[in-house]
Amino acid sequence: MSKEAVKTVSKSASGSIGTAWRCPVCGSGQQEPLVEKLGYLYVLCTGCGVASLDPLPDEALLEGMYEDFLALECDGVKMSDHFSPEYKEAYFREKDLDFKDLSFTPPASVSMLDVGCADGIFLRYMDERHSVEGEGIDVSLTMVEAARKEGFNCSNSKLEELTGPYGLVTLWDTIEHLPDPKKSLREVNRLLAETGDLIIQTPCIGTVSDAWGAEWIQYQPPYHTFLFTEEGLVRLLEESGFSVSGLVRFGAGVTESGNSLKPVFDSVVKSAGIGDTIVVWAKKTAVIYP
């Protein structure tokens, strides 16, 4: 979807901060404006460090837009590029590095659920790299149909409709899209077996996003509904019954296209632990009811 189309959509969901504002994650009434983009306003909760759109987009509106996912475009990045044969090899290398950085090795017989599975690319990775078969769920019928054509066990089921238990649940670039991340993580807690593993990758607010301001590539309204600081994400995980076993941050907000210095920037921010993408490995340590 072009920027112009997103602007059109934004007119039905944009608004201003009201005096009765409450953080949709922690319930705090303390916030500050963060950035405005495409007619949407992100605000930062000073209570828990989570940024969210204010007002939150209508859930049904978002689900409808994801049906045309491959046509979406934000800041010059086409979603269809993430489903090309060339992208697969880069994706596999990235996941290899993520697991290495986290010191995470999935058990060979683990039962796995990938939330936001798209066309099943992570399910393919786990099958080919670790001989692990899993299932996936996604809001987009188009993506689920593509995954099924490739032989993957995927559906449009919602978390609350599943029974589990799973030994591993993953959310790759998914939690920022969810209408209620706190509720979703509690559902994941319910679905995980005792001491089960959770892996989350999501954009991370901090030094890099501050430097880019409104031009930060991860400010993608209305699709990116919530954006987390490292502290905010860790806090939410702990409150949802998880203990962090490892995390890594990478990425300087620089796209591949025409920038020969990207590897240098990426190396510097990763070494400093200030990258604008965070991957967290957490273990279930307590039962938290949704």
pLDDT digits (tens, 9 = 90+) for 171-211: 999 999 999 999 999 999 999 999 899 999 999 999 999 99
C-alpha of 227 from chain center:
9
Residue closest to 168 by CA, chosen among 144, 193, 136, 138: 193
Q: What is the pLDDT of residue 194?
A: 94
Say how far apart CA 186 and CA 193 lie, in whole Å. 13
Q: What is the pLDDT of residue 214?
A: 95
Q: What is the pLDDT of residue 17?
A: 44
Q: What is the pLDDT of residue 255?
A: 74
Strands annotated E in the chain: 31-37, 40-45, 50-53, 73-74, 77-78, 112-115, 134-137, 153-155, 166-172, 192-205, 226-229, 242-250, 277-284
Dump the DSSP string for 241-269.
TEEEEEEEEE--S--STT-TTHHHHHHHH
55 Cβ neighbours under 8 A, 6+ residues apart: 13, 14, 15
pLDDT, tens digit (0-9, with 9 covering 90-100), for 34-84: 999 999 999 999 989 899 999 998 877 777 777 666 566 654 556 666 667
The number of CA neighbours under 13 Å toward the Cβ of 24 is: 21
DSSP state of 214: G
Question: Mean pLDDT across the chain, nearest whole number?
Answer: 87
Residue ranges per structural domain of the chain: 84-284
Lowest mean pLDDT among 112-126, 172-186, 246-260, 265-279: 246-260
Q: What is the pLDDT of residue 15?
A: 39
Q: What is the pLDDT of residue 190?
A: 97
Q: What is the pLDDT of residue 13?
A: 39
Higher pLDDT, 260 or 221: 221
Strands annotated E in 16-98: 31-37, 40-45, 50-53, 73-74, 77-78
Instruction: For tokens 């490892």, name the residue.
Output: 246
Percent of the chain scored above 70 by pLDDT?
Answer: 86
Query: Strand, coil or helix: what is 71?
Result: helix
pLDDT at 273 over 60: yes
Say how far apart CA 69 and CA 116 lie, in whole Å. 12
Percent of the chain scored above 90 by pLDDT?
Answer: 67
pLDDT at 7 over 60: no
Cis bond before residue 263 (omega within 30° of 0): no
Fold of 84-284: Rossmann fold (3.40.50)
Q: What is the pLDDT of residue 254?
A: 84
Q: What is the pLDDT of residue 78?
A: 60
Instruction: For tokens 């994801």, name the residue.
Output: 66
